[in-house]
Structure 1
Amino acid sequence: MLNPADDAFEARLRQLLPTGAFRPLEPRYLEEPRGRYHGADALLVAPATVEEVATILRACHAARVGVIPYGGGTGLVGGQIDQDGPRRVIVSLERMAAVRAVLPNENVIVAEAGVILQDLHAAAEAADRLFPLSLASKGSARIGGNLATNAGGVGVLRYGNARDLCLGLEAVLPDGAIWHGLTRLRKDNTGYDLRNLLIGAEGTLGIITAAALKLYPRPAREGTAILAVSDPQAALTLLSMAQAQLGQGINAFELMSRVGLDFLAETLPDQRQPFAAPPPWCVLIDLGLSADQDPQEALEQLFVAADAQGLVHDGVIAQSEAQRHELWELREQIPEANRRIGAIMSHDISLPLGHIPEFIDRAGRALAALGNFRINCFGHLGDGNLHYNVFPPQGHDRAEHDQQRGAVKSCVHDLVHAMMGSVSAEHGIGRLKTGDLETYGDPVKLAAMRAIKTALDPHGIMNPGAMLRESS
């Protein structure tokens, strides 16, 4: 059992840390984007150095007080919000926001965990380099949280998840020990991989305080197109064709449905749309090519080849950077449109690419048997990650369907599992999906996870209740 961060504990911690480390507990630290979790009272601490993080964890470990690591607060599965249990300590990394080094000749940037993702992009750009992790929440998400959740986003097809972009970590383990693993090496076979153990652990095994991250040369020429396709199978065939023609030049390959475009028209009517009549499905293709390649010409050749095979029937190829921005804005505003409509259930799933068309067809029919729903299926087709979100009929509120949320989730997740997919593609487990992990996770994997958790965090102080349920 964990103890509360009571007045006596707070007094002891204040003796160990400078006054500037303590912040008033503002409502934003107890809220999450979807409004489904609301945090309980907590002690908020914002350390400025790795040594201060170590001091906090040593004290919490000794007193058996729970710790909630906090990045930008943009997580969508409640990993940063604790509703139950004794008063916790929220450790915000917002004051650890320094870019420690930019090494363009090594294609490396070293940044503290509190650096906002968009600021990391700017630091890389200033060195004529690219840090390719890109999310809709890039203006507020912090790189420590991105790593703790192994964030994905739109560039995974070409560059991989957050895990694939990290060379080394500095982190504090639950007992306060500092791991100085901030290596810039690309080859290092010296034992167990603690870096990849902490990445994606959602703060349950320690707190990431800094990272050495991969940079890339900026593509000399970029191009974007949105192409109308008849169905997901045509989109998947188009992806294969694009990869054959363009190889590693594809930055992103995003799937969107007519429902998503309709949602934009309904909630964001000023958002410019590329088609007079929305097609049933469309894909957004983004290219990054070398100086001797013309992206517009490459996209035109792809359209001609795809049209000849009946895969596409309309499209828009951006003729300027402003048009590229408009097309990307269309894709990036879909989550905001979803938020305004209000989903009954949102699903962050991944499937083997070849199973995606069948899943979309079967899931739609299965949900139709449960009720009258609108389904906005969109996402990162290039890496198999779909955001499969279920909404009430137009003119109705999601609250009217609260009693169906469990049935809707089981319908989708059971089918994903049966088709060898994952019920958490890029958002993580948090507190929202602990039951799903138990239902669909491999028992051997779960046992190993619990053994690792017990070994590194024997008192269970780190983000209690996230990913793995607290032991009673």
Structure 2
Amino acid sequence: MTTLLIKTLRDICGAAHVLTEAADIEPYATDWKRTTRGKPLCVVRPADCQAVAAVVKACRSHSASIVPQGGNTGLAAGATPGEDADEVVLSLTRMKAIRALDPVAMTVEVEAGAILQVVKEEAEKHGRLLPVSLAAEGSATIGGIVSTNAGGINVLRYGMTRALVLGLEVVLSDGTIVDGLRHLRKDNAGYDWKQVFVGAEGTLGIVTAAVLRLVPLPRETVTALLSVADVGTALTLFALAQDTVGEALSAFELISATSIDLVERHAGLKSPIAAGEWYLLLEAASSLSGLEPAMEKLLSDAFEQGLALDGVVASSRQQAQALWELREHVTEAEAREGGGLKHDISVPLGAMADFLAEAGNAVSEICPGAGFNIFGHLGDGNLHYNVLLNGAKNADAVNRAVHDAVVNHRGSISAEHGIGRYRLSEWLRTKPESEQRLSRAIKQAIDPEGLFNPGKLLPKQAKGDAV
């Protein structure tokens, strides 16, 4: 049956696009962090939506599961195959056409395998912006960012990827192609079914193309770095920033002093301002002029009200990039320190200070020698709460402690990275049973045989069993 399936897949996609050798499969079988590996039967790379549908039908008829994969840049092992040899990795990287870009309607229709950065560059040629900004945008694909509902630094202003999706083309588990590629801002005719597939991590169907909303390309950007004494002060300053800069505020990043120290020691960078317990990296962007006086007023008010300890406004694009490099090198600096236990959490802003105190106390009690590398998108309540265990073996207990603190404050254990394989056990432990039942019901209705991405978001089901 395996030989017959591979022959069928080669007939559909061409022999060069069905990979079976271990060396060829390896890049697709390992997650981005190189911590999770699988053993798929093969990797198949279809060229268009019709070929995807044919691959799905072939795999279904041979009882082979399908693991959809884009740029393989996820941080939750959501696109990594399991250990069973009946899984086929379906890579969408050959499907990379930008089908249509309308600068007047401000929409772009693009295939799932297109690289995010390439689509952004094409939009910029027309004076438009696709406002998803990720560290991995040079390799992340459109299908991947849709399927994971990717976040990034501009969620504060533009929302998650979900807010940008106007239409989808999806292949279902029976090979049906659902064409919902509508370029409409308003479509109230029935269920908004496309949103079920956004953030589903490839467990319900395969996104093969999307229509995304664009925005005017900012012509003026102002960046500032501040230091503050505590998170409560940071939140007060966030409110002041919204009052002073308004809707132009596109990023409001929180970075701990520990994070900056790691960057200075391991990345050879230097903060241009005096230290506080926390740093704030702000950015405002507009297609109109007048932002710089507003940002300067914000800093002036912050100092006058005793909120900021020190601060600077970038006077050039190069200086702005230098400020962002402090933020962008935090993860690399953590890895050079020895790595950490990563948590991608969100809590309501009003609970942020209490969460940090509760989680910090709980972790320190479990692992007295632990360090903390905390940074993230304060404006939307999302922190990367990374714990430096320093050789301790308490990872599971620390995970539980952090996530319990999140749940206590009605937050989420995955703000933007997804559940995948990495967080599945904690999702099962912390998510209310009523919500788990609803998730299983959706899976049962759309993919009753469990064909797509088994063991991600929901536990893997035995062949023929209900979800």
Pick the TM interval, shorter chain. over 0.9
Determine the C-alpha separation between the residues in 2 that align with 1:248 and 1:311.
21
Q: 1:397 is matched with which residue?
A: none
- For residues 207 and 380 of structure 2, the distance between their equivalents in structure 1, rounded to whole angstroms, comes to 26
CA distance in 2, matches of 1:428, 1:208: 17
Question: Does the C-alpha gap of structure 1 residues 424 and 466 become closer, same or farther in structure 2, counting only changes over 3 Å?
Answer: same
Query: 2:461 aligned with 1:471, yes or no?
Result: yes
Matched, 1:366 2:356: no
Q: Give % identity.
A: 42
- The answer (yes or no) to whether the contact 2:53–2:177 under 8 Å persists in 1 is yes
2:294 matched residue in structure 1: 298
Task: Please tell me whether residue 389 in structure 1 is matched to residue 396 in structure 2.
Answer: no
How far did residue 290 of structure 1 move? Answer: 4.3
Answering whether residue 342 of structure 2 is matched by residue 346 of structure 1, we say yes
Aligned counterparts, 1:37-186, within 5 A: 37-186=36-185
Shift of 1:69: 0.4
Displacement of 1:341 after TM fit?
Answer: 2.4
Cα distance in structure 2, aligned partners of 1:407 and 1:246: 42
* Distance in 2 between residues matched to 1:263 and 1:303, nearest whole Å: 26
Separation in 2 of the partners of 1:148 and 1:241?
A: 35
- CA contact under 8 A between 1:296 and 1:319: conserved in structure 2? no
Structure 2 unaligned spans of 5+: 463-467
Alignment of 1:158-237 (within 5 A): 158-237=157-236
CA offsets, 1:19-66, max 9 Å, x none?
343245342112222222012143111111000000001111222211
Query: Could you tell me how far apart the structure 2 residues matched to 1:246 and 1:304 are?
Result: 13
Select 1:284's aligned residue among 276, 281, 305. Answer: 281
- Contact 2:376–2:384 (Cα < 8 Å) also in 1: yes
In 2: Cα distance, 1:19 partner to 1:10 partner = 9
Q: Deviations over 1:412-467 (max 9, x none)?
A: 00010011100010000001111122112122221121112112112111001111
The CA distance in 1 between the partners of 2:223 and 2:41, in whole Å, is 46
Deviates more, 1:438-447 or 1:413-422: 438-447
Separation in structure 2 between the aligned mates of residue 86 and residue 98 of structure 1, nearest angstrom: 32
TM normalised by structure 2 equals 0.95
Instruction: State yes or no: 1:422 paired with 2:412.
Output: yes
Cα separation, 2, equivalents of 1:147 and 1:272 = 36
Which string of whole-angstrom CA distances, capped at 9 and with x for unpartnered residues, describes residues 110-163 of structure 1?
111111111111011111111110011111111110110000000000000010
Task: Output the CA distance in 1 between the equivalents of 2:32 and 2:12.
Answer: 33
2:235 is matched by which residue type in structure 1? L
Rounded Cα–Cα distance in structure 2 between residues aligned with 1:282 and 1:345:
22
- Aligned match of 2:321: 325
Aligned to 1:380: 377
Using the alignment, how far apart are the partners of 1:278 and 1:175 within structure 2? Answer: 58
Q: Distance in 2 between matches of 1:42 and 1:161?
A: 34
Residues 210-233 of structure 1: per-residue CA shift (max 9 Å, x gap): 110011111221100001111111
The aligned residue for residue 240 of structure 2 is 241
Contact 2:106 2:213 in 1 (8 A): yes
Please report how far the alpha carbon of residue 332 of structure 1 lies from its aligned counterpart in structure 2 after TM superposition.
1.4
Indicate conservation of the 8 Å contact 2:31/2:80, yes or no: yes
Aligned counterpart, 1:406 = 396
Q: CA deviation at 1:331?
A: 1.1
User: Which AA in structure 2 matches 1:339?
Assistant: A
| Letter matched to residue 282 of structure 1 | Y
CA distance 1:133–1:192, change in 2 (3 Å): same
Q: Which residue of 2 aligns with 1:396?
A: none
Two-structure CA RMSD over aligned residues (Å): 1.4
State the SS of the aligned residue for 2:261: helix
The 2-side partners of 1:31 and 1:334 are apart by 23
8 Å Cα contact 2:40-2:88 kept in structure 1: no
Q: Does residue 449 of structure 1 match 2:439?
A: yes
Deviating beyond 6 angstroms after TM superposition, the runs of 4 or more aligned structure 1 residues are: none
Shift of 1:335: 1.7
C-alpha displacement at 1:392, in angstroms? 3.3
- How far did 1:14 drift? 2.1
Find 1:15's aligned residue among 11, 23, 28: 11
TM (normalized to structure 1)? 0.94
Letter in 2 for 1:194: W
Contact kept, 8 Å, 2:181 with 2:210, in 1: the verdict is yes
User: In 2, distance between residues paired with 1:183 and 1:357?
Assistant: 43
One-letter code aligned to 1:83: G
Structure 1 residue 333, shift from structure 2 partner: 1.5
Between 439-448 and 179-188, report the one with greater CA deviation.
439-448
Count of aligned pairs between the two proteins: 458
Q: Runs of 5+ in structure 1 lacking a partner?
A: 394-399
Preserved contact between residue 272 and residue 326 of structure 1 (Cα < 8 Å): no
Selected match of 1:335 from 321, 331, 338: 331
- Which residue is equivalent to 2:272? 274
Once the 2 structures are TM-superposed, how far is the Cα of residue 334 of structure 1 from its aligned partner? 1.2
Please give the alpha-carbon distance, in whole angstroms, between the structure 2 residues aligned to 1:71 and 1:17.
17
Partner Cα separation in structure 1 for residue 295 and residue 128 of structure 2? 24
CA distance in structure 2 between the aligned counterparts of 1:16 and 1:136, rounded to whole angstroms:
35
Give the 3-state SS of the residue equivalent to 2:170 in structure 1: strand
Q: Is the 8 A contact 1:21 1:48 kept in 2?
A: no
